[in-house]
Amino acid sequence: MHIETHGDGVDLVLIHGWAMHGGIFAPLLAALAPHFRVHLVDLPGHGLGRDETRFDVVDSARRIAAATPRALWVGWSLGGLVALRAALDAPTRVRGLVMLASSPRFVAAPGWPHGVATTVFGEFASELHARYRHAIERFLALETLGSTHAQAELRELKQIVFARGEPRLDALCDGLAALDANDLRDALGGLAMPSLWIGGRRDRLVPPGAMRWAAEHAPDARHLEFNGGHAPFLDFAPAIADALVAFAAELPA
């Protein structure tokens, strides 16, 4: 794992999604740095955390909480699972929780239409072993589906994904398994801090309905939606930063 710190102000932990690294947040980081001291994480097996081969949601949450001050935690996609796990397991370390296009359950199930098909993550895991880069780029394409500037976003993501080296294969498989297996819907009622659920209206991986549902079932929660896809911070960085500043200002000291 690698954690670097930028800016000065209220502490904020920022965690990326599957196959990515903290560099994906460059537009958002620029908007956040004047207001926050941002602890930018590269998860195990990703980016500058590539010295580790495996990834585990619970272990990552524990280690980030131990390595950073009490903070507002912001997690995107897979990173949201880590942030949510920390909020549940180490509530004294998490002042507030922001979930960026990240839901308590990523796969569809009876009574839960707000996720991807159960076969998707298994298919990606198989393809990773056969065609590593192609599988990652196909996942990136899914992330940009529904975005107003899908082609431009896909080009940007392809440029960023390997900018800090190739993510570790085992860690990627661990991440897919975590997305497939985790179901934290019943745990939302136990959140001890305010939460903000930010989604993209056109997101095809984490539908808006998942974000609205989560905000309705978590205590002291609210929902914010942008007209974007799975990575709304690429198009709406200043507006999302403003929302985080306002949310942080309302948190208990």
pLDDT of residue 149 exceeding 80, the answer is no
Residues whose CB falls within 8 Å of the CB of residue 127, separated by 6 or more in sequence, listed in order: 134, 135, 138
From 18-32, 57-71, 139-153, 169-183, the region with the lowest mean pLDDT: 139-153
pLDDT of residue 134 exceeding 90, the answer is no
The whole-chain average pLDDT of the chain stands at 93
pLDDT of residue 253 exceeding 80, the answer is no
Query: 143 pLDDT band (50/70/90 cuts)?
Result: confident
Q: Which of 16, 114, 223, 230 is catalytic?
A: 230
pLDDT of residue 42 exceeding 90, the answer is yes
Q: Which of 11, 174, 203, 235 is catalytic?
A: 203
- Please state, in angstroms and rounded to a whole number, the distance separating the CA atoms of residues 112 and 153: 29
- Please state, in angstroms and rounded to a whole number, the distance separating the CA atoms of residues 204 and 194: 26
Q: What is the mean pLDDT of residues 94-108?
A: 96
CA neighbor of 191 nearest in space, from 90, 76, 60: 90
Q: What's the confidence (pLDDT) of residue 142?
A: 78
Q: What's the confidence (pLDDT) of residue 145?
A: 73
pLDDT of residue 82 exceeding 90, the answer is yes
Q: What's the confidence (pLDDT) of residue 160?
A: 87
Q: Which of 35, 46, 77, 114 is catalytic?
A: 77
Q: What is the mean pLDDT of residues 43-51?
A: 95
Query: 78 pLDDT band (50/70/90 cuts)?
Result: very high
Q: What's the confidence (pLDDT) of residue 158?
A: 85
pTM above 0.85?
yes
Question: Contact 243/222 with Cβ under 8 angstroms?
Answer: no
Query: What percent of the chain lies above the pLDDT cut of 70?
Result: 99
From 10-14, 127-131, 209-213, the region with the lowest mean pLDDT: 127-131
User: Residue 203 catalytic?
Assistant: yes
Residues whose CB falls within 8 Å of the CB of residue 152, separated by 6 or more in sequence, listed in order: none
Q: What's the confidence (pLDDT) of residue 122?
A: 80
User: Residue 147 catalytic?
Assistant: no
DSSP the chain: -EEEEESSSEEEEEE--TT--GGGGHHHHHHHTTTEEEEEEE-TTSGGGTT-----HHHHHHHHHHHS-SEEEEEETHHHHHHHHHHHH-GGGEEEEEEES--SB-B-BTTB-SSB-THHHHHHHHHHHH-HHHHHHHHHHHHHTT-TTHHHHHHHHHHHHTBTBPPPHHHHHHHHHHHHH-B-GGGGGG--S-EEEEEETT-SSS-HHHHHHHHHHSTTEEEEEESS-S-GGGT-HHHHHHHHHHHHHHS--
Residues whose CB falls within 8 Å of the CB of residue 61, separated by 6 or more in sequence, listed in order: 82, 83, 85, 86, 89, 90
Query: 214 pLDDT band (50/70/90 cuts)?
Result: very high
The tokens for 62 are 């524990």
Q: What's the confidence (pLDDT) of residue 144?
A: 80
pLDDT of residue 147 exceeding 80, the answer is no
Q: What's the confidence (pLDDT) of residue 4?
A: 97
Residues facing 199 on adjacent strands: 225
